[in-house]
Structure 1
Amino acid sequence: MNDLIVKHRVYVDASVSKIFSLLTSGEGWSRWFTQHAHVEPKVGGAIRFEWHNMGPDQVTIKDQGHVTEVVKDQKFAFTWEVGKHPTTVTLSFEPRSNGCVIDVQVTGYKFERDDVEVALNVAASWGETMTLFKFYVERGLVYGFVPPA
């Protein structure tokens, strides 16, 4: 039986080079999504994301992995340590008119109860993540602070 694959596609009205730059740098991610990100955009480079007191549940999350592929303005991939099995996130960039279609694929989830639950959460999270990215790039909007209960 094949692995589960999480997929998302979104069109962002900005140049491929701008989008690629934002999604392959810690500073780029930290502008719109994390409280702190570190990205070494080279094969074998480290990638770390941190969120502190995020969202209505005030969660703190730290995730990390390693960059596995970098093709300027075309593809960026990294491993991810979410769930029982290691996964790989691949972001592909397709120029379209004045903008870019971003194709997100997360591979490596198994058809096992724990992995299926994680994959479902990750699928929802990547949908939200790409929507937030689109809002940031096109309108300058960022996810705001949510006060604690």
Structure 2
Amino acid sequence: MIETPPIEIMDFFHAPIDKVWNVFVNEKGWDPWFTDGMKMELIPNGKLYFRWERLTLGEVVEDSGYIIELINKKQISFWWYEYEKGYRSKVDIIFQSGEEGTWIKIIDYTQIFDINELSIKYGCAVGWGQMITLAKAYIEKGIILI
């Protein structure tokens, strides 16, 4: 494995923590604003199922994972990005209430095993940036951009 720093993305949402939490942590996952048929079992070791179609130009892309930790209105941690030996990516999404809204920090610890896999890490970074932008439009303006 090649040691690389985690991907860290942080943004502020002009919405109360209850609303932000419920958009990110719910049984339907990130539908309709980012995924197409995602499911979350909201318990430790609960299964995650990811499905994209609109963001992948009609190609159905699916993945799975499981929840490691779930702390109400504070943090959800999970493994995802399945490959032959397990999962490549551990993700922490941390929520913090602010004066006029909610801070979210996403930390992604994607594992790569040789230099040729750097594109996997870069792809995850781009995906999280896209995800947080789409979430912001949905939460703050009620707009679905995809």
Q: TM-score, normalised by structure 2?
A: 0.87
CA shift at 1:83, angstroms? 6.2
Contact 2:26/2:40, CA 8 A, preserved across alignment: yes
Structure 2 gaps of 5+ residues are none
Do the aligned partners of 1:4 and 1:111 also contact (CA within 8 Å) in 2? no
User: Post-superposition shift, 1:111?
Assistant: 5.9
Report what 1:125 is aligned to. Answer: 127
- Structure 1 counterpart of 2:99, one-letter code: S
Q: 2:137 aligns with which of 121, 135, 143?
A: 135
Shift of 1:120: 0.3
What SS is found at the alignment partner of 1:91?
strand
Aligned to 1:147: none
- The count of residues paired between Structure 1 and Structure 2 equals 143
The equivalent residue for 2:26 is 25
The reply on whether 1:92 has 2:59 as its aligned counterpart is no
Identity of aligned residues (%): 21
Q: Of the candidates 95, 102, 105, which is equivalent to residue 103 of structure 1?
A: 105
Residues 65 and 28 of structure 1, relative CA distance in 2, 3 Å threshold: closer
In 1, Cα distance between the equivalents of 2:49 and 2:106?
A: 18
Q: Deviations over 1:6-58 (max 9, x none)?
A: 11001111111221122111335113111111101111000111112x23733
> Is contact 1:63-1:82 (8 Å) kept?
yes
Q: Structure 1-normalised TM-score?
A: 0.86
Q: Where does residue 36 of structure 1 map in the other structure?
A: 37
Q: Is the 8 A contact 1:26 1:36 kept in 2?
A: no
Deviates more, 1:95-104 or 1:16-25: 16-25
Quote how far apart the aligned CAs of 1:3 are: 3.5
Structure 1 residue ranges (4+ consecutive) displaced by more than 6 angstroms after TM superposition:
none
> Could you say what the CA RMSD is over the residues aligned between the two structures, in angstroms?
2.0
Moved more, 89-98 or 75-84: 75-84
Asked if the contact 1:109–1:116 (Cα under 8 Å) also holds between the matched residues in 2, the reply is no
